[in-house]
């Protein structure tokens, strides 16, 4: 198989002696993430950011799934052979193993890791973040104290909370 790209340091494979990520399918064209392949069966998949596990489940199509995140960032890894974390567990980037790469779920056509990424609830191409080319901004867009006078004109982008 010819790979689309080989990244020398693929963050989900940081615990492997050879952390290369072989990209087999990219984000876009009705594909919600990036598919990568490690160089052996049973590759450990580790967290790429410090955060908390928010969901662990098994789907007929996606196989074993782990979702985790912090602030505005949420990540999901699909098709895992085995899951090693529980909901609510804190994970550390590059250190904590979430599970092992596998081929579970009917959408898996072979051993690989599918990774989807949401930033501020917007599905985003994860490849530049998983390769280390871009850094994830984990700062929470929080509330700001603002005072207005009657008659002030206000333009808001985002959510307004009372």
> What tens digit of pLDDT does each residue of 66-76 get?
999 999 999 99
If DSSP codes are grouped into helix, strand and coil, which group holds residue 37?
strand
CA distance 96 to 73: 18
- DSSP code of residue 106: T
Question: Model-level pTM?
Answer: 0.82
> What tens digit of pLDDT does each residue of 38-84 get?
877 788 999 999 999 999 999 999 999 999 999 999 999 999 999 99
CA distance 84 to 17: 19
The DSSP annotation for 145-156 comes to -----TT-----
Tokens 């850094």, located at residue: 135
CA distance 17 to 91: 21
If DSSP codes are grouped into helix, strand and coil, which group holds residue 158?
coil
């Amino acid at each position: 198989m010819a790979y689309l790209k080989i990244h020398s340091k693929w963050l989900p494979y940081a615990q492997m002696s050879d952390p290369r990520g072989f990209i087999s399918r990219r984000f876009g064209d009705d594909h919600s993430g990036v598919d990568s392949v490690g160089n052996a069966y049973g590759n450990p998949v580790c967290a790429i950011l410090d955060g908390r596990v928010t969901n662990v489940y098994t789907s007929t199509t996606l196989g074993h799934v782990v979702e985790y995140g912090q602030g505005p960032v949420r990540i999901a890894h699909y098709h895992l052979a085995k899951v090693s974390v529980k909901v609510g567990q804190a994970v550390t980037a590059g250190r904590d193993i979430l599970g092992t790469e596998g081929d579970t779920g009917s959408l898996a056509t072979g051993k690989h890791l599918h990774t989807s990424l949401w930033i501020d609830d917007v599905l985003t191409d994860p490849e530049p973040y998983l390769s280390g080319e871009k850094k994830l901004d984990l700062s929470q867009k929080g509330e700001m104290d603002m005072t207005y006078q009657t008659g002030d004109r206000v333009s808001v982008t985002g959510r307004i909370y009372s």
